[in-house]
Amino acid sequence: MTAIEAPARRGVPAAVDARRWIRRRRIAVEGRADIGTVYAATLALLMAVALLGQPLVRVVWPPDAPDGDPALTPFLGAVAVSAAFVVVLRQLGPLSVSRSDATWLLPAPLPRRTLLAPALTLTTVAALVVGAVTGIAVTGHVAARPAGLLVLGAGAITGAAAAVLATLLALACQRRPSLARLADGIGIAIGAGCLVLAAALRTTGDHRLPSPLIPPVAVLATGAAALAVGLIAIVLTWRALENWPTAPIAEASINAGAYADVVYAVEPSYLTEMSARRFWRSRTRIRTTRLLTARRVPPLIAQDLIILRRKAARLWWPLGAAAVPVYLANGPAWLLLGVVLIGALAAAGLTAESTHGDASNPAMLRLLGVTGRQMTAQRLVVPAVVAGVWLTVTLAALQAAGSLAGPWWALGLLAGPAVAVGAFQRAKASAASIGTILVDTPLGAFPAGMLLWLLNGIDVLAVLTLPVSAGLVTLQAPEALGWHWLLAQAVVSALGCALLVRTSGAAAGSL
């Protein structure tokens, strides 16, 4: 009997072979690069540079040198930018992969270092760029002219080091979800607090730092050392990726995929729904309240009050945004007007998700015995109060800064219902339509549906807040605001609310 050798059993393919096989199959199906995607990204970048390039250069590096000793405000702005950068990283991950990789490769026995290395590299590069630009902006606002390469390099390296440390904080929060909510709250509070403090300093007289600052050589050495420590920590984080939990990375991948869908489909309305679902999914300690059972408060108003109370952590951003117009008081009138109106519209939209709930669940409104007009009237109450308070605080800050004179606080309070009407109309906006006529530009064409979606509600706001707009453009201090402006705004706000309630459907939930 002749012995026959068994065929040699092939070993388990290495991880690099598995990844190479997956990459080849993906390229065979999708191709290496989509020409349309490259064109759209290049067009968007060129349009952004053409529209915002020159203003951003002036913001980062003002043409005029600062007078006297350096001010404290630029440093507070840098801290606010760092806090906002941490919040953005927390929204995006900061470590994430594509949804297909999160489904097939993340649970597979493959090295996570190679899988997550592109995301970690991209996050680190973004931190270096944002930090360097922020450092150069601070240097441009505090350094004397002409500024040498040593001063410019010291600012850029120090800013990059601060951004890398902020990235490490975001990475630690992703690895330990139990600390994420606390870190998010602290970051939002620090960012909004810096904006409010900077506005207060601008109003009362900006505090000046002592003239003999730290020498640029010492700043450069300290920043370089901090940057080296941060990059070493990034490398150590990359080496420890094998022990990271899977759930935070998978959740970040879902969120990043949703943002990619918004960009690819030109559909920003997805963000509203995704943000609402993510917020309420994280609210695990919600307690019942007796506010809904109180007969003295209408049910829909009580619901909006409960939503506003449970979004108390997000109220820091409208509070900090109320200080932004103080910085723009000496700038163009159209820029100040746009920031004031858009900020009020954003503040009134804190409870806008309830409008979508009314449209998607009309049976609940019928069970409550609420008609369409009653529903609209009740949904306008809380946004009107929030927008009125925001405008009152903002215009009062401008008045305290000496840019306005007269009873502007009362005008802001009377404009609250008008802003609520605009926010209600914007909340009713459906998905953006991309099947409309293309708008030709020197850099290419883009669908007008996106532009129409962005203008939804703003057109109503522009009409109903004409007294505020005209007053901000024409009545600069020392010319005082007359009481007839308040009467005009009260009449326009009342007419806007009455027309919206009147044109609402008679049936509950008919939008």
Better-predicted residue by pLDDT, 110 or 405: 405
- Which pLDDT score, from 0 to 100, does residue 7 have? 46
Better-predicted residue by pLDDT, 435 or 173: 173
Residue-wise pLDDT for 250-286, tens only, equals 888 887 777 776 666 555 666 666 666 667 666 666 6
- pLDDT tier, 8 (very low <50, low <70, confident <90, very high otherwise): very low
Residue 401 to residue 395: CA distance in whole angstroms = 10
Residue-wise pLDDT for 297-306, tens only, equals 888 888 888 8
Structure tokens at 405: 């004179």
Does 11 score more than 60 pLDDT?
no
Share of the chain above pLDDT 70, in %: 77
Residue 484 to residue 321: CA distance in whole angstroms = 29
Classify residue 144 as left (phi > 0), alpha (psi -120 to 50) or beta: beta
3-class DSSP state for residue 438?
strand
In sequence order, what are the beta bridge partners of 445?
Answer: 440
State the amino acid at position 472 in one-letter form.
Answer: L
- CB count within 10 Å of CB 277 equals 12
What are the extents of the domains in the chain? 58-264, 297-503
46-64 exposure pattern, b = at least 16 Cβ within 10 A, e = fewer: eeeeeeeeeeeeeeeeeee
- pLDDT tier, 339 (very low <50, low <70, confident <90, very high otherwise): confident
pTM over 0.85: no
Residue of 360, 420, 354, 427 whose CA lies nearest to 386: 420
Does 501 score more than 70 pLDDT?
yes
Share of the chain above pLDDT 90, in %: 17
Residue-wise pLDDT for 345-375, tens only, equals 988 888 887 877 777 677 777 777 888 888 8
Scan for tokens 């306008």, then name that residue.
Answer: 380
Q: What is the average pLDDT across 59-63?
A: 75
Q: Please state whether the peptide bond connecting residue 109 to the residue before it is cis, i.e. omega within 30 degrees of 0.
A: no
Q: Which residues contact 184 (CB under 8 A, 6 or more apart)?
A: 87, 90, 173, 313
For residue 329, give the DSSP letter: T
Q: Please state whether the peptide bond connecting residue 146 to the residue before it is cis, i.e. omega within 30 degrees of 0.
A: yes
Residue-wise pLDDT for 81-92, tens only, equals 898 898 888 878
CA angle 269, 311, 415 (to 5 degrees): 75
Structure tokens at 309: 């109370």
- Which pLDDT score, from 0 to 100, does residue 475 have? 80
Does 393 score more than 60 pLDDT?
yes
Of 162-166, 415-419, 504-508, give the lowest mean pLDDT range.
504-508
